[in-house]
Structure 1
């Protein structure tokens, strides 16, 4: 077993703990089933807690922005590093989230269960009246943003989970998750050579598969952006900065895979993607937190991120990111990625 704090058990393959709090925020909370409680969709009731460094949380920030849900629920941002206990709000004045009043996200989990036994993960939706976490099930969370929060979507918001594509999308997203999103971790946290070699082969087989799929279509599901693209993007955005070297995913860099590199730049230059991507925080998280992989905790200066702004020519395939809709407006005040930390910004530490 391994975890995202960077512990690697010698002789073992990486297995992700996927036992999340499965409660859901639903337009009709009576639809909650089994052990998963339904909570009501309600404006100003919840706070989304994320960390810009985390690819799973980055999904939630992108989807929230694409759908225009900033007016429905607020967002708290943890710093890029954490210890074994929890993500912390060290970016905020006084080191406390200004809405929740917490120093650590762990406090929201303990407000729900004082003996909460599992990892403290982002993204997490927190109930403001009780200051307790509602769910940290990142995969279901963003689908619910698309399907349950429709009353609060902005005018012109894209349909990120089109009903007529869901069966195919679910298959695509499952493979993207198991082989690519999680595949890079399987490489990075492999505890022995054979496990690493097998993980490496699986990862690049899948990257070749999505590359072939994207040769003739602008986006994974066709002519417009869907959640499948969001899920692939957050791994591609971290590939050269972290996964290629730190996680030994080094057959080729993203910049050496022409189709995927063009696709990734196309998304990055689309509102909602690049403007939620913070390269220094991404690098600081992985190289500092994973101390067993990088004992010195030295953070690389490179790579040059200005290349993310170069022409991609993907528009030649046709299609439009938002279809008949419109791009989101400016990033909400206080949620901007500092100019020095986006593409082309300073890389100094």
Structure 2
């Protein structure tokens, strides 16, 4: 399986013969084997040239850019090579038909809320007092069948997530305090990890959408807008509890990340420092490579592969009216 490469240092990226070379500000040179590269995640202050991007395009390799606080800023998205007018037309039809769009939006929230509940049930069995939030989320889930628009569904999803996030202080070690979700910029260590993890998940799912016939700008739960790949946002909701939150829980509760060693704070917000970022990336990648049994394929597949399988299910839904069933964690 091809690897994701994360560039956290400052320097220059350029084509060197038939591969990519990173030259740091200190003069150190490192090669990135492009034939083994699934995607690039660029987190440092980096210089490029057009030859570099032309080479990435020929290799069908995506590159994702992150801001100072680990927030997603954009992607280099090569020319699509699996174009299908039929898929795009049907995707658009499902968006333009309010009932069809509503049904897909409901499915995304059904999957995401189920996976949140699975996390909470795990910690309830570990003695954490999360029963109130489990009941609240179960009640909110029922409300998704009683609304008329995708916008209403997104509002319910927001209420579910607020209830879910309110348990984090009970799940995480006492050294990490979390009161509410704050973005742009994150105001504390937990928000910094959530923002960074969500950005990487969004990019990782976009990698897999690119390798299908789906148009990543046509979405159903989130409103499509200019300059964003909103279908990746839809699919990310399902996998946030499974990938991002479990990564965060493990790093904090096993004391692999500590507030005084792995984060930087300034007047504007909080971010993972270089050491913290590397630890989070390593655990995130380990999570992506973890395998789970897929009943349809009758074999184990990685979570990274599961993202693409989820996209294939969307294609079958819009082409063949085969009911989309979101991924549910065991």
TM-score, normalised by the number of residues in structure 1: 0.27
Larger fraction in helix: 2
If the length of structure 2 is used for normalisation, what is the TM-score? 0.28
Q: Indicate the structure whose relative CO is greater, using CA pairs within 8 Å and at least 6 residues apart.
A: 1
Q: Which has the larger radius of gyration?
A: 2
